Structure 1
Amino acid sequence: MVMAEPFSMSATELAVVAPDATRADVAAAVARARELGCGSVCVPPTLVAAAFSFLEGDATPRLTTLAGFPSGKHVSLIKASEARWAVQQGAAEVAVVVDLAAAKAQGSSALISELMTVREAIPHPVMLTVIAESAALTEPELRAVVTASVKVGADCIATSTGFHPSGGASVEAVRIIADQLRELRAERSVWIKASGFAGDQQQAVDIIEAGATVISGAGLDGLT
């Protein structure tokens, strides 16, 4: 068996996004993320202020939250308001879930319009991540989401929420996203987040070699 090469835990994100997550869970996650050396910690919008206080002003791990999570079936202005509010509470990155119907309606302006509304609500230097729910999309649909994300100035594209029945992060989805970013000459400016990850070190190495910049998961126990 070929053993996985070591990789940096700074390329990981510890996600605490369960519906029943509490302040205590967030406090434990921040402590665990610091212990592991994670690059970021992701919490629900209602717990951003708590996470910010537990971080005590530290920029690392980066504080990430969500908008339109997990279904994406929210009005664009609601997603934008949720994102703006989270940044005001201390979030440095907001990951917005796309409306799958808009993502599947190739040629429609709905997806671009939605993402632009959120981007305008949280301008740089706040990071905007677009969650594509890749396992529920065809390859052309996924590529279209990547293209739309680049057009609106997104900083990162994530593979999944981890809540959709179609599945989470996959090597193939990361490869498609990476290939489309190369086509758009955006591979150096836009990250890829393998979200909903649940695997071991070898699987992490495989997904990073496919093009992932960040691995995000609820436990990350298989990586330690």
Structure 2
Amino acid sequence: MSTRTETVAEVAAMIDHTLLKPEATAADVAAVVAEAAELGTYSVCVSPSMLPITVPATLKVAVVCGFPSGKHTSAVKAAEAAESVRNGADEIDMVIDIGAAKAGDFARVHADIAAVRAAAPAPVVLKVIIESAALTDDEIVGVCSAAVDAGADFVKTSTGFHPAGGATVHAVELMHRTVRDAGLAVKASGGVRTLEQARAMIAAGASRLGVSGSRALLAAEDAGAGY
């Protein structure tokens, strides 16, 4: 876990600058890419139908898969991921079947993740969205363990679309404890709107942040002081 206060630039470099609104247009995506480059974020995260997009060499392209419900079949998720990679995606953020997790069917969760991993092999980065606010602690541990075994690179808290809510410090801490020894990372996403929240998520173990309002988050009062 982080024991220091990250600068604004360091926080920016952990952000997947996100645009997943259903009404997003190509012009909106182009504006998000320009803003991400200006702010110095790690990537832009968009819907698969918006690909291909042109980004500067400083930016990665992340694309969601099985979004936002996770109730697509594994074959559909795998096909979607493969198509996104062909269209230029560097990273895939897939949603698990939350119902399978709630039922304790972690073998099914594992198979779902493994199917996407096979369709989008390394060096593509695979992030697994677990919708942590909808799960118990035991369920969070179960799905994170499945993600480890299926070869994912990240576990991610939330889609930002579930009524149960988004990222919490507790969930990030639990996810980090579960996956860190296996070398996986944690992405905190959903409701991260302030620099204080971002730093709290980083301190809890997140090394990536999903943020749609990146400019507002980074334009904190203390930004001029280098904090």
Same fold (TM over 0.5): yes
Kept in 1: contact 2:179–2:185 (CA 8 A): no
Give 1:191 deviation, angstroms: 1.5
Q: Aligned partners of 1:71 and 1:98: how far apart in 2?
A: 8
- Write out aligned runs for 1:58-73 (5 A): 58=57, 60-73=58-71
Q: Aligned partners of 1:114 and 1:216: how far apart in 2?
A: 22
Q: Aligned partners of 1:48 and 1:113: how far apart in 2?
A: 27
Q: Aligned partners of 1:163 and 1:152: how far apart in 2?
A: 25
Q: Aligned partners of 2:106 and 2:15: how far apart in 1?
A: 34
Q: 81-90 or 165-174, which moves further after superposition?
A: 165-174
**Pairing 1:35–2:29 present:** no
Bigger RCO (CA 8 Å, 6+ sep): 2
2:222 paired residue number: none
Kept in 2: contact 1:119–1:153 (CA 8 A): yes
SS in structure 1 of the partner of residue 113 of structure 2: helix
Q: Aligned partners of 1:45 and 1:21: how far apart in 2?
A: 12
SS in structure 2 of the partner of residue 65 of structure 1: strand
Letter in 1 for 2:15: T
Q: Aligned partners of 1:87 and 1:124: how far apart in 2?
A: 11
2:131 paired residue number: 133
Of 193, 209, 216, the match for 2:210: 216
Of 187, 191, 194, the match for 1:193: 187
Letter in 1 for 2:197: Q
Give 1:71 deviation, angstroms: 0.3
1:6 paired residue number: 7
Letter in 2 for 1:6: T
Q: Aligned partners of 1:38 and 1:61: how far apart in 2?
A: 7
Give 1:108 deviation, angstroms: 4.4
Q: Aligned partners of 2:119 and 2:208: how far apart in 1?
A: 24
SS in structure 1 of the partner of residue 51 of structure 2: helix
| Structure 2, gaps ≥5 residues long | 220-227
Q: Aligned partners of 2:19 and 2:125: how far apart in 1?
A: 19
Aligned pair count reads 212
- Write out aligned runs for 1:43-82 (5 A): 43-49=46-52, 51=53, 53=54, 55=55, 58=57, 60-82=58-80
Of 162, 176, 179, the match for 1:178: 176
Of 84, 106, 109, the match for 2:107: 109
Letter in 1 for 2:80: E
Runs of 4+ displaced beyond 6 Å: none
Kept in 1: contact 2:106–2:143 (CA 8 A): no
Kept in 1: contact 2:106–2:142 (CA 8 A): no
SS in structure 2 of the partner of residue 91 of structure 1: coil
Kept in 2: contact 1:197–1:215 (CA 8 A): no
TM-score computed with the length of structure 2 as normaliser: 0.90
Q: 191-200 or 146-155, which moves further after superposition?
A: 191-200
Deviations 1:106-151 (CA, angstroms, capped at 9, x unpaired): 2542111111111111111001110000000000001111100000
Root-mean-square deviation (Å): 1.3
